Amino acid sequence: MVEVMILGGFQSRFRILAALVLVANLLTACGASTSGPGAAGLSAAPQSYGATVQSAVPTAAGTETAYRLGSGDKVKVNVFGEADLSGEFLVGDNGRIDLPLIGAVQAQGQTVTQFQNAVVARYSAGYLKDPKVSVSVLNYRPFFIQGEVGKGGEYPYKAGLTVQDAVAIAGGYTYRANTGKAFVRRAGQDREVEIQTNQRVAINPGDIIRIPERFF
């Protein structure tokens, strides 16, 4: 009888001890999953990825302000359901586009979206009810290159144009050219900016490029 009681007490203490060990192991595992090095890496990854995606994707505003209309640009204006009001139009020397019914609309210095909104507003003012208008650039105004190139002058602009491309279009450098630098006056600006020709600098419509002469 005494042996049975001793054995029963030993088994009870063994079950309690085993339960305590199991609880301790569970607590250790939970701590490792929430504060260990592996957990820190996993939790940081989504934040880093989100920041990278956000900075890599260009915003609509950034894209929109990349180009503004100027004298010499040719645009297509489509007024849906109104063929007589649609067509291709040139930005005049005064910076405006003459449109049917509404007359001259300011385009110089405006983004395509800004100009489109201005056209909608003008047609909405007593001419059309809820007009739908789309505007796109057909031909950009030319760029100009002068100085020590084979044939300086005015050339049609192409998307992605660089200074090196412009020099090639103009017949390359003359033997007197300083091939290490160029001067660019941006459209609408009154001063030149010196650039190094070992860098691929983008040219915009209306820009003026000057290739200087070397002095040795």
Model confidence at 2: pLDDT above 90: no
- CA–CA separation, 45 vs 29, rounded Å? 22
When pLDDT is cut at 50, 70 and 90, the band that residue 167 belongs to is: very high
DSSP string, 29-83: HHHHHHHSHHHHHHHHHHHHHHHHHHHHSPPHHHHHTT----TT-EEEEEETT-G
Model confidence at 208: pLDDT above 90: yes
Mean pLDDT of 2-29: 48
* Weakest mean pLDDT among 29-38, 147-156, 161-170, 177-186: 29-38
pTM: 0.60
- pLDDT, position 152: 96
> Which residue reads 């006056």 in tokens?
185
How does the average pLDDT of the chain come out, rounded? 78
pLDDT tens-digit profile of 143-162?
Answer: 999 999 999 999 999 888 99
**Contact criterion met (CB below 8 Å) for 123 and 188:** no
Using alpha carbons only, give the angle 146, 150, 154 rounded to the nearest 5 degrees: 45
- pLDDT, position 114: 95
What single letter denotes the amino acid at residue 168?
Answer: A
pLDDT tens-digit profile of 78-120?
Answer: 999 999 999 999 999 999 999 999 999 999 999 999 999 999 9
Mean pLDDT of 127-141: 94
Mean pLDDT of 188-208: 92
**Contact criterion met (CB below 8 Å) for 149 and 171:** yes
Of residues 49 and 10, the one with the higher pLDDT is 10
